[in-house]
Amino acid sequence: MYQPPSLLEKWSQENNELVNKCKQQEAGGGAVSRDHRQSSLRWCSSEFHKLLRKIQGIPPHVDHSQLELAVVYNTCVCFTAQSQFSEAELLLKEATERVLQVTGNNADTSDPLVLWRAGLKSAGNTALHPHVLYLLCLQWALWLAKCQLENIGELQEQMSSLCEIVCDGVGDCSPSEAKGRLSKSPLLVMEPKRLTELLQICTSIAQGAEKLNEGRSSEALSDLQAASALPATRALVAYTHLLSGSCLAHMNRPQMALQCYKRALETDSRCVCALYRSMLIYRQLGNTQAEIQALRLLHSTLMLPPATEPVLGGIQPLSPSLLLSSQSLSRLLSVPSALSVLYSLALKCVLSGRVTEGVEHYLDLLAALHSEDQHAVDAEVSVLPRMLELYLEAGTALLFTRRPADCMAFCNEVISTTLELVPEKVVLEEPEEGIGGDARGLSVEGEDKVAMLLWAAAAYLLQGHCHTHLKDWKQAVTHYTRCINLLVKVHLKNRDFQPQIPAADVNVKHGKDLCTLQRMKGLSLAWRGISFTQMDQLREALRDLQLSLQAFPDYTGAGLWCGEVLWRLGRKHEAAACWEKTWSLTTQTSVEKLPLYLQDPQSGPLLDSVELRLRIQELGLT
């Protein structure tokens, strides 16, 4: 039934007024809170939906179909911006079916791809064609937001045609022109041209991430390099450079990858992922100083207040973050938390010899963890070592900077927290074959108790090192003994041999704990032996050093001091043999694979290998 023009004008005017209100509410940009923006979108979508139902209350007719499709477009933009994808897709399906009815075709399929092909074909050269293309833009956006890239690929030909037509300006007009052609060109909440440009680059980024995830790095690189020339915000162009760098990194071209990450940062200085990926490349290349510099910049950038998302064309109800939500892309764009980066920076500084700088970072990290903003801290703390372990690492760094009193203060905190929780007996089983060295134990509670025991023992070990640094040998022996007394509570259980062990408080399987236990036992015995040596208690020293080598055969410090004690006891040939055997050891554990507090103290009595070799020469053995 033909409707009077006045009714169409009334609906058009209502649509245009709603569009203007939506744009006014969006114009606040970053000043508008997220909650206010969502509230505004809910109101807009509700009002557009009411208007649409009024228009659809009459049979479809060519005279008002352009207005109807424009209102469908506006309603779907608001629904999509609120992630109400099902509601938006239902409206698009109904709109396409009504286009087919208007053009005298049947909609006898539920397949959206078939339906869209039919709708585009039926609209053909009619006045409805541009409006159907605008709706296809929204369907494209929905598929992209739902990571249904295969559907976009199925309509690749239609999408390419859409981009050419919409981006050439069909349907775009100034507000004055729109006002003059009110009944024919109702206002839209988002320019189709801007939406199409956004969809083009976001699709290239999402497809590039998927291809990279599938191992098609070369193909992804070519597409991403082409996408970098598309019109888009600096942040999105930076993403294309970033993913290009990731492709090159996967293709084992680290230097070229670094150049892409540099371009990403030059394009958008807030592209923190480019900084993170650069740091990983420097780590891979063994460039420690560049890695530390990248970590420092990354931490500084993460501490800046979050930037508001850039706005395209002044109004952008649909944001890039809504369209770029695939898991593949999220993994590529993921960046550790600021606290995690600060921890990596502290540890790397200490391990690379920049210990004073590392200490400051450890202290900053602990201050942040104890800050009043506990809610923000709790969200990040799960990726960090446990607090007591951080105390031990910070204490070790302090000891390395010749601050034994501060180190002992941290150790006292660990001991006071853990000592009452240490079990009387622990059975530590070797991990079964096929299970990794960090295989989890029988219970979280059991593992926690084992961790408490090892941390308390490590605290006593560090305090022993502090007294060694102060040359207080008696106190050093006392604290090393306390460490050993805790470690002997742990009984080792071999899979093939069942020893008669009294009932234990805790029974766990944990290969990593076993390595920690053996190294700590070797260190504590060796340094107690060294302390005995300084007190001229040579027999006790020899006993401890030999036991140390049984627990930790590759510890060169114990081997050299064992030879020294044998020499002082007059067993010079045995001493020479012990030194030669120690120097022949080639197995060395990387310091980065060890907990910081299980590394050799950088103070205490040392032996000069050159002087020891001279002794062997004088003995006439070389």
Q: Considering the chain, what is the average pLDDT of its residues?
A: 83
pLDDT in tens, 53-67: 888 777 777 667 888
The predicted pLDDT at position 356 comes to 95
| 491 touches 504 (CB < 8 A) | yes
Look up residue 160 and give its two tokens.
Answer: 């390419």
Q: Which range has the worst mean pLDDT, 37-51, 339-353, 409-423?
A: 37-51
The predicted pLDDT at position 168 comes to 64
Average pLDDT of the residues in 585-607: 76
Average pLDDT of the residues in 579-590: 77
Which of 7 and 173 is assigned the larger pLDDT? 7
Average pLDDT of the residues in 533-557: 94
86, part of any domain: yes
For 268, phi then psi, to 5°, come to -140, 105
Residue where a domain stops, chosen among 190, 221, 237: 190
Which of 480 and 160 is assigned the larger pLDDT? 480
* Host H or E run for residue 509: strand 506-509
DSSP labels, 282-311: HHHHT-HHHHHHHHHHHHHHHTSPPPPPP-
* Boundaries of domain holding 578: 555-589+606-621
581, part of any domain: yes
| 536 touches 547 (CB < 8 A) | no
pLDDT in tens, 126-164: 778 888 889 888 999 999 999 988 888 888 777 777 777
Q: What's at 388, amino acid-wise?
A: L
**pLDDT exceeds 70 at position 173:** no
Give 618's pLDDT tier (boundaries 50, 70, 90).
confident
The predicted pLDDT at position 349 comes to 96
pLDDT in tens, 486-515: 999 887 776 554 444 344 454 444 567 788
Look up residue 461 and give its two tokens.
Answer: 């070990």
125, part of any domain: yes
560, part of any domain: yes
Average pLDDT of the residues in 324-352: 92
437, part of any domain: no
Look up residue 155 and give its two tokens.
Answer: 């309509």
The tally of domains found in the chain comes to 2
| 465 touches 458 (CB < 8 A) | no
488, part of any domain: no
pLDDT in tens, 180-203: 444 457 889 888 888 889 999 999
pLDDT in tens, 430-467: 655 544 444 333 344 556 788 899 999 999 999 999 99
pTM over 0.85, yes/no: no
**pLDDT exceeds 60 at position 590:** no
Range 581-611 burial, b when 16+ CB lie within 10 A, else e = ebeeeeeeeeeeeebbbbbebebbeeeeeee
- Count Cβ atoms within 10 A of the Cβ of residue 106 and give its class: 0-12 exposed, 13-18 middle, 19 or more buried: exposed
77, part of any domain: yes
156, part of any domain: yes
Q: What SS3 state is found at 313?
A: coil
Average pLDDT of the residues in 329-341: 92
